[in-house]
A and B are shown apart, each in its own frame.
Chain A
Amino acid sequence: MKENVRRRDDRTTGHVREAIRKELAADRSGEVDTPETKPADGRPIIELQDVSLAFDVPIIENISLTAKESETIAIVGESGTGKSTILKLMLRLLLPDRGCVLIGGEDITHLSFEEALKVRQKMGMVFQGAALFDSLTVFENVAYPVREHTDLREDEIEERVRQKLQLVDLEPDEVVDKLPSELSGGMRKRVGIARGMANDPEVMLYDEPTSGLDPLTTGTIARLILKLQRELGVTSIVVSHDIRSVFRMATRVALLHDHHIVFSGTPEEMSAAEDPYIRDFLGGA
């Protein structure tokens, strides 16, 4: 009986992996724009070196991860494995108990709060719920980082905001005066991306960019992230549960399990992996 269940599970996992392989093959053939999955040979932009963090219980242990210029790294894993924690460490919203976090070669764990604010200006972050300021309009949300950190004139700010909204496939005239509460989930995510991109950061961090969205909008957001990577060459870190989107967007995938990175490689390498946990993870995805 157990043997039958195991065989059925294996068959299901095999089907899913086969589907992912086919999807990737279709993507490569030009149906959908995909990133280069060759290992990037640019300079390291983000490095985590033997990073550990615990809040009463261990969250992550001895994590090492490097994101090179123009790379898109996806961090995947079960809920509660510390994926979002890694993003917060990169932003220095959290400090590791051990190890170093280097941004552009600079260890940010020793920086003061004010110095950390300056480092964060090089990065754009897209939150799971978009985290738009609900008392501000779409225009004011996207203009916020520009007003905070540049001396641009009002007309230049407006031009920048319109340009960023167009970049995320939003029609500026239709959305600039709306409040976040008047937008759909997908539009909120796009405005979040536009706000993250407002000051042309070197690094974009995405926390579950496709969660809570319908399949069509999920595909749109995934293509959008891919487009930004292609057109602007920003280094991106994507935390996601959505394996299909991850395989479309990422040049490399890191799988977190039991506080450690148990796999790091290209999407093709991951889909071909024989490790039982990876097979289970992809099968359940």
Chain B
Amino acid sequence: MSELILRLNAQAKSSVLSIQEYFTLAWNSLRFIFARPFYTQDVIQQMDEIGVKSLGIVLLTGLFTGMVLALQSSVQLQTFGASMYLGRLVAGSMIRELGPVLAGLMVAGRVGSGIAAQLGSMKVTEQIDALNTLGTDPIKKLATPRVLAALIMVPVLTIINDLVGIFGGNIIARFMVGLPTSLYWRTVWEQIASGGFTFRYIPNDFVQGLTKPLVFGAIISITACFFGLRTTGGTEGVGSATTKTVVTSSILILIVDYFLTQLLLSVLQSP
């Protein structure tokens, strides 16, 4: 019995220590964005890796999500004779929810796993130790450029995802529901305007739709760096770090999305 308690105690201590290390890494990664030396070249390279190379997968996800959303909704809306509101429904769902979450999940799968595998390999082949011995802080050199690039590129990918998704809805509205394109886009704008504005000109839907990917970008990159930098146990450890990164960041995205939505809805009350 006492052995069980000791084991549980050790497990609890280890978990608390891991959470502490996660937040320390997050704080240092963000703090070093404003500290010299700036690894600008590394940031640009990571923006290419995270943003440009994820474009294909995000375009496909956005297009087909928008199309299937319009297709499913049109059946329901036709029942009530409300097909003209298809644009509102697709735009609201894509900008506020599906765009950020799907882009986040796609980036977590493609980029998060890549970062964890790369840093994990560097860890097990002593390249992280080599950086340390060469007088370079590995967090500043490796984590900060990735976190900064994700903070910039995940919102950009989300905007593209939203646009392509709404365009996909337009295709279904025009060719399968028979809704005029002008009416579709007018209802899209009505949806955006109906949510109210922040600082008079920024639609609240945009604030909500861009706050989320910013947070998701931080979650994906920090989680990937966290598991990558603490990899042990050779190639098996690298595989394990990759899996943990994708699972943890995906779950965190879904949980944080709920609380963030509640927070943003209470802060951005429509007039």
Residue A91 at the chain B interface, CB threshold 8 Å: yes
Could you tell me if A133 and B137 are in contact, using CB atoms closer than 8 angstroms? no
1/0 per residue A82-94: CB within 8 Å of B? 0000001001010
Q: How large is the interface on A (under 10, 10 to 19, 20 to 34, 35 or more residues)?
A: 20 to 34
CB distance from B165 to the nearest CB of A (A): 35
B136: chain A residues at CB < 8 Å are 117, 148
Residue A144 at the chain B interface, CB threshold 8 Å: yes
Neighbour of A148 across the interface among B126, B129, B132, B135, CB < 8 A: B135
Q: Which of B50-101 contact A (CB under 8 A)?
A: none
Neighbour of B133 across the interface among A114, A118, A125, CB < 8 A: A125
B127: chain A residues at CB < 8 Å are 131-134
CB distance from A201 to the nearest CB of B (A): 10
15 contacts between A and B (CB under 8 A): A91-B132, A93-B132, A117-B135, A117-B137, A118-B135, A124-B133, A125-B130, A125-B133, A127-B126, A127-B130, A131-B126, A131-B129, A132-B130, A133-B127, A145-B135
CA distance A133 to B133 in the complex (A): 13
CA distance A132 to B126 in the complex (A): 9
**Which of A123, A127, A131, A132 gathers most chain B CB within 10 Å?**
A131
What is the interface of chain B, defined by CB distance below 8 A to chain A?
Answer: 37, 121-122, 125-127, 129-130, 132-137
Residue A113 at the chain B interface, CB threshold 8 Å: yes
A124: chain B residues at CB < 8 Å are 133
B133: chain A residues at CB < 8 Å are 91, 93, 120, 123-125, 205
A117: chain B residues at CB < 8 Å are 132, 135-137
1/0 per residue A109-142: CB within 8 Å of B? 0000110011011011101110111100000000
B135: chain A residues at CB < 8 Å are 117-118, 120-121, 145, 148-149
**Which of B121, B122, B136 gathers most chain A CB within 10 Å?**
B136
CB distance from B50 to the nearest CB of A (A): 16
A-B residue pairs, 10 tightest by C-beta: A131-B126, A131-B130, A121-B135, A125-B133, A145-B134, A117-B135, A127-B126, A120-B135, A131-B127, A120-B133
CA distance A113 to B132 in the complex (A): 10
What is the interface of chain A, defined by CB distance below 8 A to chain B?
Answer: 88, 91, 93, 113-114, 117-118, 120-121, 123-125, 127-129, 131-134, 144-145, 148-149, 195, 205
Could you tell me if B137 and A113 are in contact, using CB atoms closer than 8 angstroms? yes
CA distance A195 to B132 in the complex (A): 13
CB distance from B129 to the nearest CB of A (A): 6
A88: chain B residues at CB < 8 Å are 129
Closest A residue to B121 by beta carbon equals A134
Could you tell me if A133 and B126 are in contact, using CB atoms closer than 8 angstroms? no
CA distance A114 to B32 in the complex (A): 13
Could you tell me if B134 and A134 are in contact, using CB atoms closer than 8 angstroms? no
Could you tell me if A134 and B125 are in contact, using CB atoms closer than 8 angstroms? yes
B37: chain A residues at CB < 8 Å are 148
Could you tell me if B134 and A120 are in contact, using CB atoms closer than 8 angstroms? yes
CA distance A117 to B133 in the complex (A): 7
CA distance A195 to B37 in the complex (A): 20
A195: chain B residues at CB < 8 Å are 134
CB distance from A243 to the nearest CB of B (A): 24
**Which of B129, B130, B133, B135 gathers most chain A CB within 10 Å?**
B133
CB distance from A222 to the nearest CB of B (A): 21
A127-B126, A131-B126, A132-B130 given; 14 more Cβ-contact pairs under 8 Å: A88-B129, A93-B129, A93-B132, A117-B132, A117-B136, A120-B132, A123-B133, A131-B125, A131-B130, A132-B127, A144-B134, A145-B135, A148-B135, A195-B134
CA distance A210 to B4 in the complex (A): 46
Closest B residue to A135 by beta carbon equals B118
A127: chain B residues at CB < 8 Å are 126, 129-130
CA distance A129 to B126 in the complex (A): 8
Could you tell me if A133 and B132 are in contact, using CB atoms closer than 8 angstroms? no
A134: chain B residues at CB < 8 Å are 121, 125, 127
B125: chain A residues at CB < 8 Å are 129, 131, 134
CA distance A123 to B121 in the complex (A): 24
CB distance from A202 to the nearest CB of B (A): 14
CB distance from A128 to the nearest CB of B (A): 7
CA distance A117 to B134 in the complex (A): 8
CB distance from B54 to the nearest CB of A (A): 19
B122: chain A residues at CB < 8 Å are 133
